[in-house]
């Protein structure tokens, strides 16, 4: 059995390349020994001397113009000395972690034929293809400047043993082991933002089947990377940071849930000890796959330190017949000085994609925590009226509109409007919302099924399960096997029918509320997570192609499907089912390690948190939510007039500063006191900024001290204004310099260093500062 390779999207084309341009093709005999890619202040120096698979000589700070001789010296300098009782040749690490090079860590490729052969192939380069950042083929005389202008003519050729320096580029290395009948293509790109991405594609070129158990890539990090950082978490508390020393052994993060996971590593980072948002070198890797996956950091006694990532394949999920191929997951690698620079490289790449949402992100009302399953037309239209009065721009009807779905025990898989809940169909509500000038959105969970549903009764074989029994239920549901063509068509056709019947539906909140445990395919029960993940991608792609204006939110029990592959198909992520603003302060901070604010759903909920029971002021709820893609999830009919007025002010502030919030560069200040959070966004030209200064708890000292900002122009003066909406919260005590009664002029360098005193605030309150450059 063979499964199709991971789908490609617009993101698979090198950023900035022109469609239809032919790459520069170089034979193995004419290939240079090394390639130097430069972009965004980053150098990626690759070694392919002697026809070997590429090894990373340097990934980090820009090396500047580099001669072939200096590149060769660096390549030799990366090989360790021989130690006693060691191999006779120095261990060389290539990007597949090949064992024939002497590398003793986790290999990127794990596979074999049925007789056991082919498990340690020796790939030799057969050729390579290069595209420059402007879409032209890149030759040896191409500019190595980080701006990456046009590359040389397609017929340019590099001197064997020399250096190819095409600037930002995409390179595909082709290699083969003719004896084993295997071929591999390794795509390596340095994008304009300085972000690196890579993935391998394996082809069975020989007779007989070849089972792939793993296909990933590994990148080395230097010895000064002595500390590891990644994220953990669970439902309702996603993105919990954790640190540890980078000791000898393997730090392996496996996701076996069939989705990215609320506890996913997100971006596994190695860095100089004590690194933070603004200081310390960091090297991080993200495995972009929404199903089972692995991300690891490994340190060997030989001195190698690496980061790696791959899809996690279950037994028999990818078995290649002759001529068939499998493409592994993309691994995205971000270097920077501080975690903010690392995050900004990812944000810049996401924002540069052709498919990135360009129009203003509409302020959203989701009705879930207002009505739950109680779908009453009069109540829902009243909510729509109140939302429109507040300046809300999108209205989302959540779970409960279809089939027998009166609670969470029935109806999933039957994507037809319930005649019981909606005797006149959805049209009255959709039309009412549209007449108010708002978009209409709808909740769906296409990959799931309740056993108590028409489709499950008619087609029990469509439920994912091992042979002869069902997996444990979760939330009264199982998984509908989209890898079965008929099941896929059932879901697709029902969703298409809804969208065609109601052209006003411009948005799907796409949920995924259970892990894929024991997710087999009838009748044998063979594993099907790989095919299910690709089918979900295909379904999103097909719906977006058929309905080009449709936007999709990735929701998975909240934030359990947040990765850079699903983001090629979605326009927003639901950060968490927990809208408690105190919990969201941490979740927003670390979700933005890969997501820019415009893709991060952040809502103002009711005063009593649905998931924690905590009570918070509207001030703190809104001051937390305003920094993402703003929304409301609150029964507005229960809000007081004063609350509605204050909420309207926060919405107006968000809309007024939305371009900056959703286009500025992220700045997170390292905490000098654990009870204080300072973060914001700065315009690319440093002419404008918005910062939040938040008290999270009671400090051991009072006053807390001076805070500093980052990212401003130290040579310019700024007008600083306190633009916090609403009434002044209890406990607010402005410092003498604070712009409480109007703007204050402050030189940028004084805001950056030495900084100025914080205001006094009760815990769980915040002030917002708007900075604009004073001209002249």
The kind and range of the H/E element at 383 are helix 377-389
515 counts as catalytic:
no
Q: How many CA atoms lie within 13 A of 60 on its CB side?
A: 16
Please tell me the distance from the alpha carbon of residue 765 to that of residue 423, in angstroms, as a whole number.
46
Contacts of 32 (CB under 8 A, 6+ apart): 26, 48, 68, 140, 158, 159, 160, 161, 162, 163, 164
Of 511, 515, 571, 580, the catalytic one is 511
Pairing assessment for the beta strands 717-722 and 448-449 based on DSSP bridges: unpaired
Dihedrals φ, ψ of 619, to 5°?
Answer: -55, -50
Q: Which two tokens stand for residue 515?
A: 């892990």
Please tell me the distance from the alpha carbon of residue 219 to that of residue 97, in angstroms, as a whole number.
9
Helical segments of 102-189, H only: none
- Count, in order, helices (H) and strands (E) of the chain: 13, 41
Q: How many CA atoms lie within 13 A of 32 on its CB side?
A: 29
Q: What is the DSSP letter of 195?
A: -
Q: Which two tokens stand for residue 434?
A: 């549209």
Q: Which two tokens stand for residue 452?
A: 């108590």
Pairing assessment for the beta strands 249-255 and 756-757 based on DSSP bridges: unpaired
Query: 255 - beta bridge partners?
Result: 293
Please tell me the distance from the alpha carbon of residue 80 to that of residue 222, in angstroms, as a whole number.
12
Number of other CB atoms surrounding residue 541 within 10 Å? 14
Residue that is written with structure tokens 């506890």 in the block: 263
Of 398, 571, 577, 580, the catalytic one is 577
- Residue 528 CA from chain centroid, whole number: 24
Cis amide bond preceding 723, omega within 30: no
Please tell me the distance from the alpha carbon of residue 307 to that of residue 612, in angstroms, as a whole number.
36
- Residue 344 CA from chain centroid, whole number: 12
Q: How many CA atoms lie within 13 A of 449 on its CB side?
A: 27
String of DSSP letters for 28-66: TTT--SEEEEEETTEEEEEE-GGGPPPEEEEEEE---S-
511 counts as catalytic:
yes
- 677 three-class SS: strand
Please tell me the distance from the alpha carbon of residue 102 to that of residue 89, in angstroms, as a whole number.
8
- Residue 104 CA from chain centroid, whole number: 31
- The percent of the chain in helix, strand and coil, each rounded to the nearest 5, is 20, 30, 50
Please tell me the distance from the alpha carbon of residue 307 to that of residue 108, in angstroms, as a whole number.
11
Contacts of 540 (CB under 8 A, 6+ apart): 510, 552, 569, 570
Q: Which two tokens stand for residue 107?
A: 């290999």
Catalytic residues: 511, 577
């Amino acid at each position: 059995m063979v499964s199709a390779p991971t789908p490609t999207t617009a993101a698979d084309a090198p950023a900035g390349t022109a469609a239809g341009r032919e790459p520069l093709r170089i034979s193995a005999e004419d290939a240079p020994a090394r390639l130097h890619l430069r972009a965004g202040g980053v150098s990626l120096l690759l070694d392919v001397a002697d026809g070997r698979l590429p090894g990373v000589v340097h990934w980090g700070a820009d090396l500047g113009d580099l001669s072939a001789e200096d590149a060769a010296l660096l390549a030799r300098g990366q090989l360790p000395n021989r130690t006693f009782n060691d191999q006779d040749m120095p261990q060389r690490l290539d990007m597949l972690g090949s064992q024939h090079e002497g590398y003793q860590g986790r290999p990127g490729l794990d596979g074999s034929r049925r007789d056991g052969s082919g498990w340690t192939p020796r790939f030799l380069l057969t050729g390579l293809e290069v595209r420059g950042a402007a879409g032209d083929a890149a030759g040896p005389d191409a500019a190595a400047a980080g701006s990456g202008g046009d590359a040389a003519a397609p017929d340019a050729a590099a001197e064997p043993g020399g250096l190819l320096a095409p600037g930002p580029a995409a390179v595909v290395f082709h290699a083969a082991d003719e004896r084993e009948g295997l071929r591999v293509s390794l795509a390596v790109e340095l994008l304009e933002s300085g972000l690196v991405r890579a993935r391998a594609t394996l082809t069975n070129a020989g007779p007989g089947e070849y089972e792939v158990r793993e296909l990933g890539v590994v990148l080395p990090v230097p010895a000064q990377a002595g500390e590891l950082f990644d994220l953990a978490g669970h439902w309702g508390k996603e993105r919990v940071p954790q640190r540890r020393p980078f000791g000898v052994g393997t730090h392996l993060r496996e996701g076996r849930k069939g989705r990215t996971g609320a506890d996913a590593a997100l971006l596994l980072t190695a860095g100089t000890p004590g690194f933070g948002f603004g200081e310390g070198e960091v090297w991080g890797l993200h495995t972009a796959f929404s199903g089972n996956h692995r991300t690891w950091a490994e340190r060997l006694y030989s001195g190698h330190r690496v980061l790696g990532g791959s899809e996690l394949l279950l037994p028999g999920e990818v078995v290649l017949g002759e001529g068939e191929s499998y493409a592994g997951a993309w691994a995205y690698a971000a270097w920077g000085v501080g975690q903010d620079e690392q995050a900004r490289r990812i944000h810049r790449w996401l924002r540069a994609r052709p498919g990135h949402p360009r129009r203003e992100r509409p302020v959203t009302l989701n009705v879930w925590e207002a009505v739950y399953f109680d779908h009453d037309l009069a109540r829902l239209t009243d909510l729509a009226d109140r939302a429109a009065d507040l300046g809300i721009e999108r209205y989302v009807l959540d779970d409960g509109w279809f089939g027998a779905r009166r609670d969470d025990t029935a109806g999933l898989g039957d994507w037809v409007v319930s005649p019981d809940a909606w005797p006149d169909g959805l049209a009255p509500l959709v039309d009412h919302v549209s007449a108010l000038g708002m978009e209409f959105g709808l909740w769906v969970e296409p990959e799931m099924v309740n056993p108590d549903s028409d489709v499950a009764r008619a087609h029990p074989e469509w439920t994912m399960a091992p042979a002869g029994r069902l997996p444990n239920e979760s939330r009264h549901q199982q998984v509908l096997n989209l890898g079965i063509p008929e099941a896929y068509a059932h879901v697709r056709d029902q969703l298409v029918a809804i969208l065609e019947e109601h052209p006003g539906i411009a948005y799907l909140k796409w949920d995924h509320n259970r892990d894929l445990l024991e997710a087999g395919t009838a009748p044998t029960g063979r594993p099907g997570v790989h095919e299910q993940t690709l089918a979900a991608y295909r379904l999103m792609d097909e719906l977006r192609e058929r309905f080009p204006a449709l936007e999709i939110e990735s929701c998975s029990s909240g934030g359990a499907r947040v990765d850079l592959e699903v983001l090629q198909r979605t326009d927003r992520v639901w950060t968490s089912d927990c809208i408690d603003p105190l919990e969201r302060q941490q979740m927003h901070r670390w979700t933005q390690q890969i997501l820019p604010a415009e893709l991060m759903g952040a809502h103002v909920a009711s005063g009593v948190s649905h998931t924690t029971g905590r009570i918070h002021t509207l001030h703190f709820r809104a001051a937390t939510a305003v920094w993402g893609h703003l929304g409301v999830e609150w029964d507005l009919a229960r809000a007081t007039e004063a609350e509605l007025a204050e909420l309207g002010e926060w919405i107006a502030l968000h809309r007024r500063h939305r371009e900056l919030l959703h286009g500025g560069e992220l700045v997170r200040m390292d905490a000098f006191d654990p009870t204080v959070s300072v973060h914001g966004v700065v315009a690319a030209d440093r002419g404008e900024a918005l910062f939040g200064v938040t008290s999270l708890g009671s400090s051991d000292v009072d006053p807390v001290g001076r805070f500093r900002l980052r990212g401003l122009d130290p040579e310019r003066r700024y007008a600083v204004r306190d633009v916090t909406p609403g009434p002044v919260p209890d406990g607010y005590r402005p410092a003498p310099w604070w712009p409480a009664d109007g703007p204050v002029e402050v030189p940028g360098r004084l805001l950056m260093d030495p900084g100025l005193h914080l205001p006094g605030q009760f815990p769980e309150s915040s002030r917002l500062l708007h900075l604009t450059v004073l001209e002249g």
